[in-house]
Amino acid sequence: MSVISVGQAVVLGAVEGVTEFLPVSSTGHLKIAEGLMGIPVDDRAVVGFSAVVQVGAIAAVLVYFFRDIVRIVSAWGRGLRHPEERHRHDYRFAWWVICATVPIVAVGLAAAPLIQGPLASLWVVAGSLIVGSGVMWAADQMGRHKRGEEDTSFTDAMLVGSSQILALLFPGFSRSGATMSTALILDLDRVAATRLSFFLGIPALTGAGLYELKDALGTGVGAAPLAAGTVVSFVVAYASIAWLLRFVAKHSFNAFVIYRVVVGVLLFGLLGAGVLHG
């Protein structure tokens, strides 16, 4: 019997799709939803399922930014063949994304037992939601929002890409929250910070989903729940991306900061009262 039913997979897919690219922690919300539905959050199959449904959200990014991705990949390919093309920003940006993915891959492989074990706790999620909120608020206040996407550098990409490690180690911190906050501290504007977060997330999250696929299929999650969760995640994530890009063009991240604190405090309360077990 599958550890996750198709109905539960649909709910978790929707949660993943809504929260993957919002700076509110998709991992944290998935763990909360799993806990409320009585699904063991530290079960290896459940951890694998969570990684796989992320692929649906990543697919939404690939579709939404298809033209940008084709442009960047094409520029990279031309640069590999023709040295005179290597001065172009898109060629360099492709290399930056590749290089910026290395730190999170290295840490993910080295710290896998911790990530899938003690750090998968809901107590960690609650604390990370609140601490991450403070970081996000400070970054939004500190940033001068004066640099656009064309102004990004190799250093920017490496620092923003490496910040994904915070979310990897502390579920609840939020990958998008960590990357956007770092980009804001580096004075990128909110739209540039958000788009950079999207692009840097593509290889890291896709790799995580593919890596975990064997565990999700082989330890208690059937193909039907995986398919249902992934499809729902794709549809909901696509709508979420479109909304977020419009939102950040005109608003600060304060709404997300407040929301994260409320959820973190509520989660601490549910854990303390024994409603959830973390």
Taking residues 29-54, report their average pLDDT.
81
Please name the residue that has the structure tokens 């699904």.
Answer: 39
Using a cut of 0.75, tell me whether the model's pTM lies above it. yes
Tell me the angle at which helices 26-36 and 254-272 cross, rounded to the nearest 10 degrees: 30
Q: Given this model, what pLDDT does residue 60 score?
A: 94
pLDDT, one tens digit per residue, over 157-178 is 999 999 999 998 998 899 999 9
User: Does residue 277 lie within any of the structural domains?
Assistant: no
| CA dist., res. 134 & res. 258, Å (int) | 10
Total number of domains constituting the chain:
1
User: Does residue 1 lie within any of the structural domains?
Assistant: no
User: Contact, 177 vs 220, CB < 8 A?
Assistant: no
Integer angstrom CA distances of residue 186 from 67, 95, 165? 26, 20, 18
Q: Which domain holds residue 263?
A: 6-272
User: Does residue 56 lie within any of the structural domains?
Assistant: yes
Q: Which of 233, 240, 276, 272 is nearest to 256 (CA)?
A: 240
User: Does residue 145 lie within any of the structural domains?
Assistant: yes
Please name the residue that has the structure tokens 């979420």.
Answer: 240
User: Contact, 34 vs 269, CB < 8 A?
Assistant: no
pLDDT, one tens digit per residue, over 239-261 is 999 999 999 999 999 999 999 99
The H helix count followed by the E strand count for the chain is 13, 0
DSSP 188: B
User: Does residue 239 lie within any of the structural domains?
Assistant: yes
- The alpha carbon dihedral of 208, 57, 93, 85 has a sign of positive
pLDDT, one tens digit per residue, over 102-157 is 999 999 889 888 887 788 788 998 999 999 999 999 999 999 889 998 899 999 99
Banded pLDDT at 215 (limits 50, 70, 90): low
pLDDT, one tens digit per residue, over 12-33 is 999 999 998 999 988 778 878 9
User: Does residue 278 lie within any of the structural domains?
Assistant: no
Q: Given this model, what pLDDT does residue 1 score?
A: 59
| CA dist., res. 264 & res. 278, Å (int) | 13
Q: Which residues of 53-90 are buried (b: 16+ CB within 10 A; e: fewer)?
A: bbbbbbbbbeebbeebbeebeebbeebeeeeeeeeeeb
| CA dist., res. 12 & res. 57, Å (int) | 12
The alpha carbon of residue 108 and the mean position of all alpha carbons in its chain are separated, in whole angstroms, by 14
The alpha carbon of residue 76 and the mean position of all alpha carbons in its chain are separated, in whole angstroms, by 25
Taking residues 198-227, report their average pLDDT.
78
